[in-house]
Amino acid sequence: MNNDDQGQKPTELWGPDLRKFTGRVAIALALLALFPTLLALLTSPPAFTLGHQLNVDDHMVYAAWMKQAAEGKFLFNNRFATEPQPGLTIHLYFLVLGWISVVIGQLWTTTLARVGFSILFVWMLAKFLSRFDLSPLAIRLGIIIATTGAGFGYLYWQPFGKEFVNKTSFGASLFGGWIPIDVWQPEAFVFPSMLTNSLFMVSLCLILFVLKSVVDAQKSWLAVLPGAGAMFLLMNIHSYDVLLLSLILVGFLAASLVSKQATGAWVTRAICIGLGAIPSAAWFLFVLSRDPVFRERAETLTFSPTFQQLFGGILPLAILAGFAFFSGLPRLDEDPKTRQRMLVGGGGALLLILSLFFGSSGADPGKYFLSASAFVGVLLLACGSVALMAKKDLLWNLLWAWAMIGLVAPYFPGLFQRKLAMALAIPWAILAAIGLASLIQQRVKTSQHLAASVAAILLGLTSIFWLQREILLIRNNVSSTTVHAITYSQEVRQLLDRLDQEPGRVVVLAPPGVPQPQEGNLGFTTPLVPDLNPVISGLVGAYTYAGHWSETPNYNRKRNEVSQFFLGSDGRGDGELLRKSRATHIVGWVPGLGLRDHSNLGEVIYQGQQWVLIRIRR
């Protein structure tokens, strides 16, 4: 990467060959991402499938918003909580998907959105990389590795959980007993996001668009309005990413100042792009102040993994990124001062990474790793290392700012901090591609494409395992949550349809899920009792008392109360629970299956072979 002051060059690389290559990669990845859904559809008849294998309960939150949008609502409320709420939530992405779902249904709407934004992301990434002074091999490797690359997770793969089952393995000792994030955290990687969540893919597209807009704003105001629009939308649909981008751009600014590329006009334009997030942020704060249910949801503690887990998820990418660093140093006889400064910065970055890695040994992923003051100190050190590594190359400065700040951001001592690992692998993967291309071009005189293909496959093996897990979950009919099924019988479909016909505000009590472990630490299979609560809220739009671990206030307490209601023997607390929950309906088991019969509490309005729907008597 040896760019001029502008950091861009004519788009001659974005020619027919690269367009054809990009199209093939995009279509291939989209088809792979589509395959699990098609498999579930083909193997589920006469039942129906939800179309999601990972974190079914989260997808049902999105489905509940889409259901409300399909009913003509613009402001949403939380269908996983029965407490009074003003209903002020605006989510523009699922609002539009809800409108589309009226025509083609929820399953196909979310699936086609996921596939469509996957294709768009690959195309945007290729066009972005082709603007800079990279070799054709580096660009092609960048496209492939950024979309499929991950860590060594395939060596320690397990389909469930975040903790090593085999505590004596080398990986368990290396990563502190916790599985690296490339095994279980999809939003940090591109292909797992393609497989699992359209919201992640549209957010990745917006992140890339904002960064492109900031680069373009160096020379023109034309990029400001589109960039600000992307920030507005990103703050509305995936607000954590705005904080992440802000931190990354602070590092990018530090590098631009040291490389003497920053100008007052450019900084002003970049700030104007960032200001686009203010209207969405203001509405977020307004809802936070007026809606206690939303506020309690927003205060859910979701801690980041240990730094050993985090860095383990990108370890091979980081190693190759080191080769990119050395290949990007100016020659000693050309610019010795810049070379020396960059070496100091690279050494500082390595020292910071090693300090965090070994400093997190024994850390508890259920607690904050860094205090507020410690986080500020680590962030400043990361920005300092990025600044020292800077040179007159916009892509170089941006990638290293993104990579280093991306490692630190997930330890921002705030709520839902784990979400700040979004897109973590992308800059490291692009740097890895640049380093790999440099190695191949310097050392491999023949069969360079073969060497590149083998390396890309090795770096993408974990993505193959993600696809394999999706197929496994479909075959076993169990979500990664262990308590939610993926496909359901026609009886459940009929029960949901009957419940959907009930007038007024419908509040449902349904049994919490009961997982079914497999023998020999092989994971889980179809739940003994599937948790229908999130399915009811998502597909019917009814309120559930204990529906979702983070959307439902005091979820654990409520889940225990509902478990006692369905599994207890005396029924002495039934009246109190019915009063507190404001329940109007019960989804229970058919009498005679050896479990509690609640038909005496109201009128049975649907009865199948396993499930019964009761309208509670008032």
Write the pLDDT tens digit of every residue in 567-615: 876 677 788 999 999 999 999 988 776 678 888 899 999 999 999 999 9
pLDDT of residue 44: 80
Instruction: Output the CA angle 247-249-252, nearest 5 degrees.
Output: 120
What lies within 8 Å, CB to CB, of 26 at 6+ separation is 118, 119, 122, 123
Burial of residue 42 (CB within 10 Å: 0-12, 13-18, 19+) is exposed
State the pLDDT at residue 5: 40
Cα 304 to chain center, whole Å? Answer: 13
Strand 487-488 to 48-49 pairing? antiparallel
Using the Cα atoms of residue 53, residue 57, residue 62 and residue 64 in order, give the sign of their dihedral: positive
Q: Report the b/e string of 534-553 with b at 16+ CB within 10 A.
A: bbbbbbbbbbbbbbbbbbbb
Do 101 and 111 touch, CB atoms closer than 8 A? no
Give φ, ψ of 511 to 5 degrees. -65, 135
| Contact between 368 and 327 (Cβ < 8 Å) | no
The answer to whether 476 and 488 have CB atoms below 8 angstroms apart is no
Is the peptide bond preceding residue 46 cis, with omega within 30 degrees of 0?
yes
Determine the number of helices (DSSP H) and then strands (DSSP E) in the chain. Answer: 25, 9
Contacts of 281 (CB under 8 A, 6+ apart): 235, 239, 242
Q: What is the pLDDT of residue 1?
A: 63
What are the structure tokens assigned to 258, written together? 């040291």
Predicted confidence at residue 585, as pLDDT, reads 98
Residue 132 sits at φ, ψ, to 5 deg, of -110, 170
Apex CA 50: angle with CA 523 and CA 469, to 5°?
30
Backbone phi, psi, residue 528, to 5°: -60, -40
Which pLDDT does position 445 carry in this prediction? 66
| Residue 139 to residue 207: CA distance in whole angstroms | 19
Domain residue limits, the chain: 11-49+105-459, 476-616
- Ranges under pLDDT 50 in the chain: 3-11
Q: What is the pLDDT of residue 8?
A: 42
- pLDDT of 99 reads 98
- Residue type, position 353, single letter: I
pLDDT per position as a tens digit, 487-521: 999 999 999 999 999 999 999 999 999 999 997 66
Residue 41 contacts residue 480 (beta carbons within 8 Å): no
Structure tokens at 314: 């990108």
Cβ atoms of 524 and 477 within 8 Å: the answer is no
Closest CA to 479 of 426, 439, 534, 427: 534
What pLDDT shows up at residue 568? 75
Judge contact between 310 and 424, C-beta under 8 A: yes
Locate 449 and state its tokens: 């494409």
Helix, strand, or coil (residue 193): helix
Measured between alpha carbons, how far is 76 from 71 in angstroms, rounded to an integer?
11
DSSP code per residue over 225-287: HHHHHHHHHHHHH-THHHHHHHHHHHHHHHHHHHTT---HHHHHHHHHHHHTTHHHHHHHHHH
SS3 of residue 425 by DSSP:
helix
Q: How far is 243 from 150, CA to CA, in rounded Å?
A: 24
